Amino acid sequence: MTAVDILLGALAAVMPVALWRLAAGPTDADRVVAVDLTFVVLVAAVALLAVRTRESAVLVLVLVATLVGFLATIAVAHLLERRNRP
C-alpha cells in the first residue's frame, strides 16, 4: 500500500462527514463550508489519482477547478454577507 492509497482512503473517510454537514448544517454558512470542503476533497482525489496514474494533463484540470472553486467560495461569501446586513 502506497502513500497515495492511504491519502485516498483518508479523503474517502472525510467525504461522508462533509456530506452530513451539508445536509444537517444549521446555517447557510455551515452548508457553504461543507460544499467547499466537498469540492476540495474531490479535487484532491482527482489530483492524487493523476499522480497515481502519472497523467500530467489532469493536473491542468485540477488547477482550473481549484481556481473556480476559490472564486465560487468568494462569491457565495459575498452574497451571504450582503444578505445578513441589516
Quick: pLDDT tens for 19-33.
999 899 888 888 888
pTM score above 0.75: yes
Instruction: Please say whether the beta carbons of 45 and 11 come within 8 A.
Output: yes
C-alpha cell at 23: 445536509
Q: How confident is the model at residue 11 (pLDDT cuts 50, 70, 90)?
A: very high
Residue 44 and residue 14 in contact, taking contact as beta carbons nearer than 8 Å: no
With 0-12 CB in 10 A as exposed, 13-18 as middle and 19+ as buried, what is 72? middle
pLDDT value at residue 47? 93
Burial of 76 (0-12, 13-18, 19+ CB in 10 A): middle
